[in-house]
Amino acid sequence: MNKEKMMKMHYELELEKIKNEVKKSGSSKILIQLPEGLKDESKRIIDELRSVKEDLDITLDGKIVHGACCIPEEPEREKYDLVIHFGHTEMVPADNVIYVSVKSKEEVKDVAEKAAERSEGEKIGLTTTTQHLHKLEEMKKGIEEAGKEPVTREEDQYIKEAQILGCCFVSATEIKDEVDSFIFIGSGRFHALGVANSTDLRVIQGNPYKNEVNEIEPGKWEREKEMRKDKARDSESFAIIETPYPGQTSHKVTEQVNEKLEKNGKNTYKVKLSQITPNRINHLPYDAFVINACPRIVRDDWSNYDKPILLPKEAEELVNQ
């Protein structure tokens, strides 16, 4: 089965809704943002939008889009009438940005029930990703049919009920004292590992695409963190890297890490990059890098870099040891 058919089977791109938004807004210059797993869909999306108006000026944003934090800064954003951001829910409010969550079509009730049957205790913390939020009530029913009680964190301005982001696990951490264990519904292990490591509770992952459940090993991130710190232990010069994206970098964190490193005799430098990849930083003349940006850059890809890369907290821990 080809990728386009697989995408149509598993996800809803809401193309008709987007076409109506383009018509209603009267936009003529559009920027499309897609996470890496959806970039294969870019031609189909652009062709569909051109069916609304042939002379639409549409640009695909080719950079890596880790999340809703990666919408362009205001000066860049103002070059377009409309920015269409796929795969995430709103994080940074902006008048000319629409968010398309890309909803999964997979059934979740059965896999939630299976996961609950393997979970410890009676009160089960329920977590999931953006793609499955519209089926939250089905997940709850599955847990209840296993004879257990689902517990979720309530929605706030930025985080939906039960939602886990790659950089934010408050939907788990804020209810960890109220539950016996957690369930994560979704594919991939990154978010499930984040729940396990941020709560120190047992996590069962239910994968609705494979209709299977697995227990998550919580110690993996901790082991890898120690490996990263060991690799950076003899470094004397540290570059603290920020990105220009409003939802990613905290200047306060940069200053805090910079001060901590300098107090411990390290030479510090500040670098701003729009894209952080091995090719962009391996050649830079610093011993190690502190990534004040999306934590997935470090947690997912650290072993692909020639030089040590650390999260801000890891850099502070390193000099405190």
Smallest CA-to-CA distance from 130 within 168, 182, 173 is with 168
Number of domains, the chain = 3
103: left (phi over 0), alpha (psi -120 to 50) or beta: beta
Residues 72 and 133 in one domain: no
What gap in Å lies between CA 179 and CA 172, rounded to an integer? 10
Q: At what angle do helices 312-320 and 220-232 cross, to 10 degrees?
A: 60
The reply to whether 31 and 54 lie within a common domain is: yes
Which candidate, 95, 90, 105, places its Cα nearest to that of 13? 105
CATH number of the structural domain spanning residue 175: 3.40.50.11850
Predicted model pTM:
0.77
pLDDT at 32 over 60: yes
Q: Domain end: 53, 74, 102, which one?
A: 102
Whether the pLDDT of residue 170 is over 80: the answer is yes
Same-domain pairing of 118 and 211: yes
**Do 69 and 152 lie in a common domain?**
no
For the chain, what is the mean pLDDT? 90
- Give the tens place of pLDDT for each residue, 73-108: 778 888 999 999 998 888 777 889 999 989 999 999
Does 189 share its domain with 236? Answer: no
Domain end position, chosen among 102, 122, 147: 102
Q: What is the pLDDT of residue 9?
A: 56
Q: 186 and 284: one domain?
A: no
Q: Is the domain of 123 the same as that of 208?
A: yes
User: How do residues 230-279 score in pLDDT, each as one tens digit?
Assistant: 999 999 999 999 988 766 778 899 999 999 999 999 999 999 998 899 99
25: domain CATH number is 3.40.50.11840
CA–CA dist 292, 242 (Å, integer): 5
Q: 315 and 225, same structural domain?
A: yes
Per the structure, the complete domain to which residue 152 belongs is given by 109-218
138 shares its domain with 212: yes
Read off the CATH number of the domain in which 245 is found.
Answer: 3.40.50.11860
Where does a domain end: 218, 251, 282? Answer: 218
